[in-house]
Amino acid sequence: MVVLSAHKIGIFWQRLSGLIDEAGQTFVRTSFSSVVRDNWDMAVGLMDSQGRQFVQSAKSVPSFIGTMPRTLAVMLRRYPRQMLEPGDVLISNDPYHGTGHLNDITMACPIFRDRRVIAFVTSVAHTVDIGGAPSVEARDAYEEGLTIPVSKIVRAGIENEDVIAFLTENLRAPDETLGDIRAQFSAYRQVEQRLKRVLSDDGIDDLDALVDEILRRSEASMRSAIEAVPDGSYRDEIMLDGFDAPLKICCEVRVNGSNIVVDYSGSSAQVARPINSVMNYTISYSNYAFKCLFDPATPNNDGSFRPITIHAPEGSIVNPRRPAPVWARHLCGHYLPPVIFSALAPVIPSRVIADCGSPLWNVYFQGRQRDGRPFIKMFFMNGGHGARDGADGAPCLSFPSNVATVSIERFESTVPLLVTEKQLMPESGGAGRFRGGAGQRLSFTNVAPEPVTMTIRHERVKFPPRGLLGGGHGAPGRDLINGKVIGPKGRYLLRPGDVVTFETPGGGGLGMATGDAAGSPEAVKR
Amino acid sequence: MKEKYRIGVDIGGTFTDFVMIDVETSRLLKEKLLTTPKDPSIAVLDGIGRMLRAHGVSPREVIHVIHGTTLVANAIIERKGVKTALVTTRGFRDVLEIGLEWRYDTYDLAMVLPQPLVPRALRFEATERIGPDGKVIKPLDENSLDAVVTELRRSQVSAVGISLLNGFLNPAHEARIQKLLAARLPNIVICTSSDVVPEIGEYERCSTTVANAYVLPLFDNYLRGLRGGLDRVGIRKDLYLMLSDGGTVHESTAIRHPIRLVQSGPAGGVQAATIYGQDAGADYVFCFDMGGTTAKACLIDEGEPARATEFEVARVARMKKGSGIPLRIPVIDMIEIGAGGGSIARLDRLGLIQVGPDSAGADPGPACYGLGGEFLTVTDADLVLGYLDARSFLGGDMQLDAGAARSAIERHIGGPLGISIQEAAWGIHDTVNENMARAASIHALEKAKRISDYAMVPIGGAGPVHACHIAMKLGLSRVVVPVGAGVASAFGFLAAPTAFSFVRGRVEPLDTLSSRAVTRLLAELESEGRGLLAVAGTAARVAISIQAAMRYAGQGYEVDVGLDRAWIEASDKVRIRAAFEAEYQRLFGRTEPAMQVEIVSWRLTASGPRPKLDLKLANAGFSSKGGASLKGTRAVYDAVSGSFVATAVHDRYAIAPGAAFDGPLIIEERESTVVVPRSATVRCNDSYNLIIDMPLTAT
């Protein structure tokens, strides 16, 4: 076995991250969907032969980073290593094993060396349409579209026509989705070639020893940061607008030496509305919060999360049972980092941030182009960022997700909607020693000759983003059609000429405001 | 008196470099002065004057002066531009501040975003709207500008950027606003997005337009000062400037788009590497510029540096993509990483060696500078490994403290890891090399090139020290170490052709390409280009090249495809598609035969001939010393055996053409040291450049 020095580990790790970044670039540049190329709603990761993740592309959605290794584990139960051959690609979008909703397709490609699996390259990408009738009315997961069970979409280098046919027949925009899927195949081939070269250049047989060492060191680093937090039990809870009635997430963080247990007992029971966060997604965003708090600089890998255990009662909104609907699971999952932050705020006040204007806001527009072709288009818009000790929150920043917005000019050039405003709402950030970031107002006019269907599912309309440690709340969000407030979750018909307006929530403030100056909106206006 | 001298001047952060070439004899003269940051033209005029006097040249013998400067980049980095306002479409004044809504660092809760160059109070709105097809949806309400004029006057801004939604498709409203404002506010500078960067993407276009306005008055002032100074010393000749894409333009062209000078100096270095590479017979050149704080790299294919259309300036977080101000301008495509001689080495939280991206700077600098610096840097490691010599650094002007370097290594890395000082030093050296190799190979892959096809040309002080070891990591077989790497940028200015490129956004499916309209558009751009080059005196031999940014319908990233004008005029869609697919195949290894192809924008470059420079003549007499080049031997770390080996040290100034050596050896010159590893061979060619052939085995 190769003994790896600190110097060699650093060099290999760098080289492998570079290789996965390249693959991420290739995917983004050749993708056909706006969500991948403009919003970067994707991730590419590398696992060792045991499925342990230690590298992912720089442009990666945090939740996907967390779910990829778990999805791979499920895939390998269906197709154990002895059933895999070079050139295979596995696919699935099962929400309970994947990222929590059908729209994210996870794929994995084994990499062989001397007829032995030495690594897996995995990727996740959002697809805007997954068939079915995804809606806020869905009562179970079957209504939400096509479930792709773990299958081989490519067998030994040859595309599996049956899987492709299922996709083609069930999706509204199969060209876009399949275009993206094939773009990922190119990325895998690139990783495979480069990885083999790196290993042979350095005379290494497999990655496992390297990954052992990376995980061991990352775990130690995380443990030493946790040890600095006083032992104890820290609790908080957060209210969700929910659908018919408000929902609640209860969070207890137990710190014991270098271990952390997070317990979501007491959270609301699962509901027959698409807001439930599957366990994978819950684990992913909980881990993400601790990574941000305790060891943001270490490149992400599974070792960092060994000291953390997460309990979520089965049958709750943070660990639902099949077939609870999950399409908008981010409406629940995006509350996990803020509730962990607020629980720990009293002991680590200088590390946390106040609530951001999230869960992520977005809108689906569906209709027909002037030439009759159907379109379905998503638009993302973020709220204000929470304040932290030492700085006001930034306006309109994605958190805890990391989804970029699309250019208005590019958007308008593809769909018959005109954007008539995109501006900050300076008053919307929460007051405080440090102010929350401003949310924004966006308006869209339907300029098509026929109606456009619009679907929204927005939170923080009843319960605004909370201030922290004495800081004020951010302003809640609002949705309006032609100036009249509408419900934040629903499907609406926009007639020609109708104007829909979205006001994203402002971020929470942090600390008590000490004087008028700090609390004045002028501070935001500069 | 005959005009026969061309002068190149590069203002860097520390030094202003000068080169002067006699076009009849090709003799090259050099000068180096400290930069005068308050008024950079002082050093420029001083240096030119010195050079002329020292060589008995009359100002009237000068043909022209070509100049590059960090002024534009520094004005933005240091926020020293003028008070600038923005006028945009009603409802969109915050686009400049909102940006992409994306976090450039996934995990850092304390991440800081760049502040926009124009604060909210100076962002104004006009009532108007142009649609996504370029048609006017809402006519410009000229009355809506009254309040804007009042505010602009009251707030005493010096410059205004106008950037309207979809303004790149129809410049009418921007032009009208410009006219109205200019009539009422005659003393302010006004830039429109349809002039500066007529391309899709409201955020980046607006950002580029206001950045241009922000630096224009400063640049104008500076140019006037310099012009006046040159006139006073009797050089009443044309002044040219180096753009970020490696072309030079007449001062009257540069002043319209000073933002295009943001990478002026580095572009000169790349142009120089182009010449050095050609001299050594390399068709594919990997230019590697490693200085004190950062390293930059660029790929040059058959004399043409790789180009890009995006650049980011003034990053808040060093080396983090997305933390700066985005610009859409033609640039030489360079990667930059925080890996220079002064980069700080330390153990990270995992106990792994980390180098950079921060730097110890020049003062206190590396521990071995002996200026009280506590930081352990790459230079310290290079010294301990014997690659640098304590007594001959900067030609012996600066004595390095090897003891301080050793104790810094022991304290920061050797001790904590329980390894020897030499192992730790090699760890630092090898890690920084890996940083660079990794960045270079990703860059090459992004451009679908094979890095191993390239010959490396290292420039900058630390370049030749690290070049061969990086070349081995990348599998490069040849390294060319030029003479005068220290003044490469200024020399590159003289080597660059006069050129200007135009970009026009025009989204259109290939199937319905309107060849007549495109032909007309290209003809307009061509005549404008020829006009600019006529001012520069190269009208007769102008070459026109046309590129289309193309993609499959539905994609969002374009591929630049060189097109023959005849295909466009003949509306030959088959050939145009074939050209696109050939490029796409090369980049991504496949095509999408079923998909429609569309064209997003057109780029036309008008360029004059590349000036002829004979390196052999230019460097003639370089090795003036004569005699044996061997200065002695010293113990130098050999990576293959992992031990110190007595290694020959040569004086570069005594190496004559034809000389050849086998590695390992060290070749010292004033501003740098060439480290040649074991099994590599070196020979000095007729132009005094060192050609190093690498063993093709990885370490």
Q: What is the DSSP secondary-structure string of A306-325?
A: TTEEEE--TTBTTBPPTT--
* A200 touches B at CB < 8 Å: no
* B200 touches A at CB < 8 Å: yes
Domain boundaries, chain A: 6-206, 229-352, 354-526
- Per-residue model confidence as pLDDT tens digits over A347-368: 999 999 999 999 999 999 999 9
Question: Looking at residues B475-499, what average pLDDT do you find?
Answer: 87
Tokens of B480: 């060319």
**Single residue among B190, B214, B238 that ends a domain in this structure:** B214
Task: Please identify which residue in the block is written with the tokens 């992004």.
Answer: B446
B62 with B106, same domain?
Answer: no
* B352 touches A at CB < 8 Å: yes
Nearest CA in chain A to B137: A418
> What predicted TM-score, i.e. pTM, was given to this entire model?
0.90
In 3D, which of A351, A275, A347 has the Cα closest to residue A318? A275
Q: Is the pLDDT reported for residue B77 higher than 60?
A: yes
Q: Is the pLDDT reported for residue B590 higher than 90?
A: no
Give the Cβ contact number of residue A191 at 10 Å.
24
Question: Looking at residues B473-479, what average pLDDT do you find?
Answer: 92
B440 with B553, same domain?
Answer: no
pLDDT value at residue B539:
61
Q: Is the pLDDT reported for residue A444 higher than 90?
A: yes
Dihedral of the CA atoms B240, B245, B247, B248 (nearest 10)? 0
H/E element holding B77?
A: helix B71-77
Q: What Cα–Cα distance (Å) separates residue A93 from each residue in A130, A318, A330, B136?
A: 10, 19, 16, 45
- Per-residue model confidence as pLDDT tens digits over B443-468: 887 776 778 889 999 988 889 999 99
Share of chain B above pLDDT 70, in %: 97
Using 50, 70 and 90 to split pLDDT, how confident is the model at B624?
A: low
For residue B678, is it within any domain? Answer: yes
Q: Is the pLDDT reported for residue B430 higher than 90?
A: yes
B590 with B445, same domain?
Answer: no
* A311 touches B at CB < 8 Å: no
Beta-carbon separation of B165 and A408 below 8 A: yes
* B136 touches A at CB < 8 Å: no
In 3D, which of A83, A87, A24, A26 has the Cα closest to residue A56? A24
* B418 touches A at CB < 8 Å: no
The DSSP 8-state label assigned to residue B498 in this structure reads B
Distance from CA of B279 to the nearest CA of A (A): 32
- Per-residue model confidence as pLDDT tens digits over A245-276: 999 999 999 999 999 999 999 999 999 999 99
- Per-residue model confidence as pLDDT tens digits over A279-318: 999 999 999 999 999 999 888 899 999 999 999 999 999 9
Give A249's strand partners: A238
Give A452's strand partners: A494
Beta-carbon separation of B354 and A418 below 8 A: no
B123 with B24, same domain?
Answer: no
Report ipTM (2 d.p.).
0.91
Total domain count, chain B: 5
Nearest CA in chain B to A425: B94
Of A295, A413, A424, the CB nearest to B94: A424
Which conformational region is residue A115 in: left (phi greater than 0), alpha (psi within -120 to 50 degrees), or beta? left
Q: How far apart are CA B86 and CA A110, in angstroms?
A: 53
Question: Cis bond leading into B593, ω under 30°?
Answer: no
B42 with B119, same domain?
Answer: no
For residue B382, is it within any domain? Answer: no
Question: Looking at residues A389-402, what average pLDDT do you find?
Answer: 95
* B589 touches A at CB < 8 Å: yes
* A175 contacts in chain B (CB < 8 Å): 554, 595
- Per-residue model confidence as pLDDT tens digits over B56-68: 999 999 999 999 9
**Amino acid at site B643:** S
pLDDT value at residue A403:
86
Beta-carbon separation of A179 and B554 below 8 A: yes
* A521 touches B at CB < 8 Å: no
Quote the domain boundaries for residue B461. 267-304+432-495
B252 with B186, same domain?
Answer: no
**Single residue among B495, B510, B544 that ends a domain in this structure:** B495
B601 with B524, same domain?
Answer: yes
Give the Cβ contact number of residue B1 at 10 Å.
7
* B430 touches A at CB < 8 Å: yes
pLDDT value at residue A518:
45
For β-strands B597-607 and B543-552, DSSP reports them as antiparallel
Q: How far apart are CA B63 and CA B619, in angstroms?
A: 21
* B203 contacts in chain A (CB < 8 Å): 407
Nearest CA in chain A to B594: A175
* B109 contacts in chain A (CB < 8 Å): 292-293, 296, 351-353, 388
User: For position B438, which CATH number holds?
Assistant: 3.30.420.40
Q: What angle do CA B205, B206, B208 make, to 5 degrees?
A: 65
Share of chain A above pLDDT 90, in %: 74
Half-sphere exposure of B190 (CA within 13 A, CB side): 23
pLDDT value at residue B359:
85
pLDDT value at residue A515:
61
Task: Please identify which residue in the block is written with the tokens 């008196």.
Answer: B1
Question: Looking at residues A159-165, what average pLDDT do you find?
Answer: 96
Q: How far apart are CA B406 and CA B425, in angstroms?
A: 9
Q: What burial letters (b/e) apply to A161-176, b meaning 16+ CB within 10 Å?
A: eebbebbeebbebbeb
Question: Looking at residues B537-543, what average pLDDT do you find?
Answer: 74
B88 with B178, same domain?
Answer: yes
* B165 touches A at CB < 8 Å: yes
Distance from CA of B350 to the nearest CA of A (A): 5
Q: Is the pLDDT reported for residue A221 higher than 50?
A: yes
Q: Is the pLDDT reported for residue A521 higher than 60?
A: no
Question: Looking at residues B251-275, what average pLDDT do you find?
Answer: 92
For residue B38, is it within any domain? Answer: yes
Of A11, A202, A298, the CB nearest to B350: A298
- Contact between B592 and B580 under an 8 Å Cβ cutoff? The reply is no
Residues 6+ apart with CB under 8 A from B268: B8, B10, B68, B242, B246, B488, B489, B490, B491, B492, B493, B496
* B417 touches A at CB < 8 Å: yes
pLDDT value at residue B538:
64
Task: Please identify which residue in the block is written with the tokens 């046919």.
Answer: A165
* A50 touches B at CB < 8 Å: no
Mean pLDDT of all residues belonging to chain B: 90
The residue among B90, B95, B97, B103 with the most chain A CBs within 10 A of its CB, best to mutate, is B103
- Contact between B147 and B140 under an 8 Å Cβ cutoff? The reply is no
B623 with B601, same domain?
Answer: no
